[in-house]
Structures are given as C-alpha cells and as structure tokens.
Structure 1
Amino acid sequence: MSVLTQFVFLVIILPVMLVITGCATSPTPYDYDALIAAKPRSIVVIPPKNNAIEVNAPYVYLSTISRPLGEKGYYVYPVAVIDIFMKENGLPTPEEMNLVSLDKIYQHIGADAVLYTEIIDWGQKYTILSSNTVVHVSMRLVDARTGVKLWSARASAVRSSDSGNSGLVGALVTAVASQIVNSISDQTPEVARMANNLAIYDSRSGLLNGPYAKPDEQQ
C-alpha cells in the first residue's frame, strides 16, 4: 500500500471509527413513557427486603426515603403508619409485606403507586487501614392498579474514612478511631440520604416531578 493510499484510508476510515465509538458510549435516554401516562399523585413505600446482615437496616432506610419523594412533588403515605397497619393485619416482617398483592394495597390504602425497595448492601465495612459506610439499595415504582413498572433506580453511596497521606501509623490510628466513632454514631442514615438523592434527583434517570412539586421545580 502506497503512502498516498494509506493517507486516504486514514482520512476516510478514522472519522467513521470516531462516530461509531461516540455512538457506542452515548447513554440511552431513560424511558419515562409509563410514568408520564400513569401520572401518579401518591406513593406508598413498602418496607424494604433486606439482604444485609444488619437487622435494623429496613427501618433505618425507611426513615430516609419519604423526604426526597415528597420534595419531588408526591404525597407519600406515612411509612410508620403503613408499617403498623400491615403488622396489625398479620404481616410482621418486610419480606411478608412485599408479598401483598397490588390489588389489596390499592383497595385498602388507595395509593396510586407502590415503591418497592431492596437492600443489597448496608453498614460499616472495616479493613486494616480504613473503614467505609456503604448503602446500596434498588428501588422500583409500580402502578398500584396495573402493576406496570413506572420507574426504577439503584441508590448507592459510600463514605470512606481513609487517612490520606498520614502514613501507616496514622492510618491505623484513623481506622481505630473511625471504628469507635461509628460504633457510637451510626453513619448509615446520612449515607442512605446521599444515595437516595443521587438516584431520585439524577438529571438523566431520576424520578420525574409529581403534581405537588413547587412551581419553580416543575419540569
């Protein structure tokens, strides 16, 4: 292949390759068609399924989810009231609550949509030189009348207590201090709020504003 032929090949082929690469890395827009069509006004949050070893994780998480949903413009049924209601009706655990049929939820509670959540990972993770507070939750919003999925997301956040460039001794001291502090003050609620905000307010795939959003926040 001559030098001229090689040059012509590069001039023609490289732009095509760049276009193909650019298309492959472009994020797919989130499909909001079902959510827009359903126009839910109210949401009931079912206590999360729990895959973590921390038995209190579902109720700690529940304390963090109502505010961002309300700020997005939806009426959120009080999570504590819903939890008590289900327990009084023979459903003592979140796992059993998640098995209730949608028609029963709609009949007895009347919410337009149901938010199902599942805790994938949760709590303090200690290593020799650092500790992390981890929250990883999946969430799925469905139409209470039809069962159609309206929106879904992964809420994930990590807060690290690494010691930076303080050396081995400093790292050990920081790790021990962090473990003591975390045993006294649980960091998971704050990290859960961070995770929820990242998922719900995401500009590309977050939850669309509901009917009660403030006028300056309407989309």
Structure 2
Amino acid sequence: MRLLKLTGALLALALLGGCAAPKTVDYSAFKQSRPKSILVLPPINESPEVQASYSLMSQVTYPLAEAGYYVLPIALVDETFRQNGLTTPNDIQALPPGKLHEIFGADSALYITVSEYGTKYMLITSDTAVTASAKLVDLRTGTTLWTGSARASSEEGNSNGGGLVGMLITAAVKQVINSSTDAAHPIAGITGARLLSAGQRTGILYGPRSPKYGTD
C-alpha cells in the first residue's frame, strides 16, 4: 500500500519540469510522414540492471496510445521475434526498417535506449533514476521522424528540511523499499511519459486517433 502511494506521488511529477534545457525539434519529416501505427522495439539496455529493458517497454505503450497511435501489442511482437530467432534488443534494432515493415505492417518503429536505471546509495540517502533516449523511424522510408531523451529521479524536488535525523529516516525507508521491490519501475513510467507524451515542447506529435490530431 505504501509503495502504491509512492508510485502515485511520483507519477504526479511525470510531466512537471525537466532535467534538460528546452530544445527545438524539427518536426517537418514527422508532419510529412504522419504515421498511424507504431511498433515498439525492445529497448537496448546500457545499465547494469537486467530488468531495465522490459520495465520501460511495458510502460511506454500508454503515452503512445494516449497520443493517438495504434501500438502493436508488445506480447505479439515479442513472440514474433522469438519465433524468428531474435531474442536480444541489439539484434532486433539492427534489422532493416523495410524488413520490420514487411513483417508487422506498422508505419513506424520506436527505437529506445536505456542508459540509466536503478538506485544509487550515498552516505545518508539514495537516488533512484531512469534515463532513456528514443527515436521514431518511418519503416516505409527509413527516415528518422523524431528523437528525444528524458530522465526522472526519486530525488526531484527533495528538500532536506527534516534535518539530519529526518534524512536518515528517509534513507532507511528508501532502502527498505528498494531492497524488496524494483523501485526504478515507477520511475521508468515517469521517464516514459516525459519522453513520449504528445503536447510537450519536445514530445511526439498527436496521432490520428487523438481529437487534437493536426493541431500541433
């Protein structure tokens, strides 16, 4: 129950602020392509945590669907790759775009890389963070339509107003939670929302299933 409350509080921060300075994104190729469906490929995991890839992958379909796109079912995609002897994200992401289009019929594919995932313990505190980057590629032409990156951390907005004792208690609670669950999983959900939600300065454009389609 306590973990659910923590997850809810973290999700409330999902679209607030950002770790990087605002940048300008060229949406000209995206607007010309206007994909309707997205194939999410297994993320390449550059972190030491083995669960990072599928933790993030299991949560990125929601912001994509909310943005107005048809997202191919993750389980079906995974099984198709397995039946064809492809089990690692690196091998899957190395496939030619045209081949992916031929197999799945999707207009575009989302390529994701997880560069940070997990908890770092300091002297009297800990920080759980997830960092990911992504690109959306038109599978019909091989053109990159969009690129972005995002990071979320459990220490965002943290204040040390409780003094040393308060900091020690907070650190102890965090370590109990982190030792019994995958504390980075809800953080990955925030990262995914920041990375892929439409309507943001650097997010993807609204898809054809959204009432806001064509307004961005």
Contact (CA 8 Å) 2:114, 2:131: kept in 1 or not? yes
Query: Which residue number corresponds to residue 40 of structure 1?
Result: 35
CA distance in 2, matches of 1:208, 1:88: 33
Alignment partner of 1:104: what SS? helix
Contact (CA 8 Å) 1:128, 1:175: kept in 2 or not? no
Superposition pairs of residues 13-24 of structure 1, within 5 angstroms: none
Alignment partner of 2:154: what SS? strand
Does 2:149 correspond to 1:150?
Answer: no
Does 2:201 correspond to 1:190?
Answer: no
Contact (CA 8 Å) 1:163, 1:170: kept in 2 or not? no
Query: Which residue number corresponds to residue 9 of structure 2?
Result: none
Instruction: Give the superposition deviation at 1:205.
Output: 1.6
**Which residue among 94, 97, 114 is the counterpart of 2:89?**
94
Q: Which has the higher helix share?
A: 1
Does 2:202 correspond to 1:205?
Answer: yes
Contact (CA 8 Å) 1:113, 1:143: kept in 2 or not? yes
Query: Which residue number corresponds to residue 167 of structure 1?
Result: 163
Instruction: Give the superposition deviation at 1:165.
Output: 2.7
Query: Which residue number corresponds to residue 20 of structure 1?
Result: none
Long gaps (5+) in structure 2: 1-20
Q: Check 1:170–1:28 CA distance in 2 against 1; reply closer, same or farther (3 A cut).
A: closer
Superposition pairs of residues 111-126 of structure 1, within 5 angstroms: 111-126=106-121
Contact (CA 8 Å) 1:30, 1:205: kept in 2 or not? yes
CA distance in 1, matches of 2:23, 2:127: 31
Max Rg structure: 1
Instruction: Give the superposition deviation at 1:172.
Output: 2.5
- Matched AA of 1:203: Q
Instruction: Give the superposition deviation at 1:94.
Output: 1.4
The one-character-per-residue Cα deviations of 1:110-160 (angstroms, maximum 9, x if unpaired) are: 110010000010111111111111010000000001111101110211112
Query: Which residue number corresponds to residue 5 of structure 1?
Result: none
Query: Which residue number corresponds to residue 104 of structure 1?
Result: 99
Alignment partner of 1:160: what SS? coil
Long gaps (5+) in structure 1: 1-25
Structure with more relative contact order (C-alpha pairs < 8 Å, separation 6 or more):
2
Contact (CA 8 Å) 2:206, 2:212: kept in 1 or not? no
Query: Which residue number corresponds to residue 134 of structure 1?
Result: 129
Does 2:177 correspond to 1:181?
Answer: yes
Once structures 1 and 2 are overlaid, which stretch shifts more, 72-81 or 181-190?
Answer: 181-190
Q: Check 1:89–1:130 CA distance in 2 against 1; reply closer, same or farther (3 A cut).
A: same
CA distance in 1, matches of 2:102, 2:150: 29
CA distance in 1, matches of 2:22, 2:161: 36
Q: RMSD in angstroms over aligned alpha carbons? A: 2.0
Q: Check 1:167–1:55 CA distance in 2 against 1; reply closer, same or farther (3 A cut).
A: same
Aligned pair count? 193
CA distance in 1, matches of 2:101, 2:76: 16
Q: Check 1:46–1:103 CA distance in 2 against 1; reply closer, same or farther (3 A cut).
A: same
